[in-house]
Amino acid sequence: MYLSGLWYFGALGEQLKPGQHLNIELLGQPILLARGFDGEVFALRDICPHRGILLSTGRLLEKDGQTQVECPYHGWRFGSDGKCAGIPSLTKQQSLTRDLSKIKTKNFHVCEQQGLIWIYQGDEKPTDKPIWVDLVGAATPKLSTTTVFNCHVDHAVIGLMDPAHIAYIHRQWWWRTEKSMHEKSKNFGPVERGFTMLPHTPSSNSFLYRLLGAKPETEIRFQLPGVRVEYIKIAEKYVVGFTAITPVNEDKSQITIALYWDHPVMSLLPNALLRKGLDIFVGQDRDAVNAQQKGLAYNPKLMLIHDSDVQAKWYFSLKKAWELSQKSGTAFQNPVKPKTLEWRS
Ligand code: FES
Ligand SMILES: [Fe+2]
């Protein structure tokens, strides 16, 4: 089961030029994501109501000033609202006596902001906007990477937020070494549909943080359904790391990392080098959860310990509280209370 009544990250805006479309799988359903010739993004259930072929195997065309999706099988056309706009095999007389707009493939609410395309999942109309990335204004990401983990979204989420794995899975000279492990104490508090590691000066055990110079200040927010944003402020400048963990289906999760910055040191580093670093990093997480699957296949009992797994516990209680609010139609009560967590990493 998936959480509903939420915006899920779908794709990066830069993946679609006007007139282009792609097929994605989100929450176990096929979605055609497209950018119309007018530049507007739309999303349809990627299944032709006629005989079920993926609409995304067809093409986008412009008709009467509107963007339409043409099914490759029998040429039925659908508007960006999902309503049928034409059936070529009908005679003129047949066309006149049929209300084609009753034939429909579901269309989803979409929102594009800050270079991110969000798709709403829920039966009701969305009552709010997707997560807004602070500090960056209307900027779009300068760098991004996408990876698929072969695991349920819960393992991807708790694997990425877990502080205790860093010294093991991500052990490398430019980030952490075993010797750099030390005791940490971080203050957390609730934020909208999530929690945050409150602004603090990060540990000096990372070479990358040292590179950024003068006392960076970091805040890391996690929000449902699975968005983690790391804000690094260095004097007046910023580096922001956005991570979306989106369920593709029950056994697959897509991880998208997008970086925003206006810090000059980041612009000095070649993009290819930054991307390589990111890919190594996410690759280490991916290899870990993929290896974990071999154990999970035997359905073992698992443990979450204090304090290093408390964020994972919060994630599960946030999910529960969200489900409850959706089911009962009552306001969501954030179960997270301000707390200091301590661990070694
Ligand atoms: S299957 Fe799409 S038009 Fe026939
Ligand atoms: Fe990790």
Per-residue pLDDT of the chain (345 residues; tens, 9 = 90+): 899 999 999 999 999 999 999 999 999 999 999 999 999 999 999 999 999 999 999 999 999 899 999 999 999 999 999 999 999 999 999 988 999 999 999 999 999 999 999 999 999 999 999 999 999 999 999 999 999 999 999 999 999 999 999 889 988 766 666 677 889 999 999 999 999 999 988 766 566 677 777 778 999 999 999 999 999 998 889 999 999 999 999 999 999 999 999 998 888 989 999 999 999 999 999 999 999 999 999 999 999 999 999 999 999 999 999 999 999 999 999 999 999 999 998
Q: What is the 3-state secondary structure (H, E, C) of 210-250?
A: HHHCCCCEEEEEEECCCEEEEEEEECCEEEEEEEEEEEEEC
pLDDT reported for residue 179: 73
| Sign (positive or negative) of CA dihedral 202, 205, 211, 215 | positive
Cα–Cα distance measured from residue 22 to residue 237, given in angstroms and rounded to the nearest whole number: 35
Reduced DSSP (H G I as helix, E B as strand, rest coil) percent helix, strand, coil of the chain, to 5? 25, 35, 40
Residue minimizing CA distance to atom 1 of ligand 1: 51
Q: Are 238 and 136 in contact (CB under 8 A)?
A: yes
Backbone angles phi, psi at 315, to 5 degrees: -60, -45
Topology of domain 143-344, CATH: Naphthalene 1,2-dioxygenase Alpha Subunit; Chain A, domain 1 (3.90.380)
Which of 47, 56, 74 to mutate for ligand 1's pocket (most ligand atoms within 8 Å of CB)? Answer: 74
- How remote is the CA of residue 58 from the centroid of ligand 1, in Å? 10
Distance between CA atoms of 76 and 326, rounded to whole angstroms?
37
The reply to whether ligand 1 has any atom less than 6 angstroms from the CB of 71 is yes
Q: Within 13 Å of residue 170, how many CA atoms lie on the same side as its CB? A: 25
The pLDDT, as a whole number, for residue 171 is 83
Q: Which of 45, 46, 51, 84 to mutate to test the pocket of ligand 1 (most atoms within 8 A of CB)?
A: 51
What is the structure's pLDDT at 206? Answer: 65
What pLDDT does 177 receive?
67
Nearest residue to 24 (alpha-carbon basis) of 48, 46, 52:
46
Nearest-angstrom CA–CA distance, 85 and 99: 10
**What pTM value is reported for the model?**
0.95
Which class in CATH covers the domain with range 6-121?
mainly beta
306 lines ligand 1 (CB under 6 A): no
Domain regions of the chain by residue span: 6-121, 143-344
- Which of these, 236, 176, 248, 250, lies nearest to 206 by C-alpha position? 176
Q: Ligand 1, atom 3: nearest CA belongs to which residue?
A: 74
CB of 83 closer than 8 Å to CB of 90: no
Question: Three-state DSSP class for 305?
Answer: coil
Question: Ligand 2 centre and the CA of 36: distance in Å?
Answer: 37
pLDDT value, residue 174 = 65
- Confidence at residue 204, expressed as pLDDT on a 0 to 100 scale: 62
CA atoms within 13 A on the CB side of 82: 18
Closest by CA to 174, choosing from 281, 297, 86, is 281
Task: Show the DSSP H helices in the chain as ranges.
Answer: 92-96, 153-161, 166-169, 207-212, 264-268, 271-296, 310-328
Q: How far is the CA of 329 from the centre of ligand 2 (A)?
A: 36
pLDDT score, position 216 = 86
Q: For tokens 């970091």, name the residue.
A: 218
Query: What's the rounded Cα separation, in Å, for the pair 268 and 143?
Result: 14
Question: In the Cβ-directed half-sphere of 99, how many Cα atoms lie within 13 Å?
Answer: 2
Distance (Å) of CA 279 to CA 25, 39, 154, 256: 22, 30, 21, 11
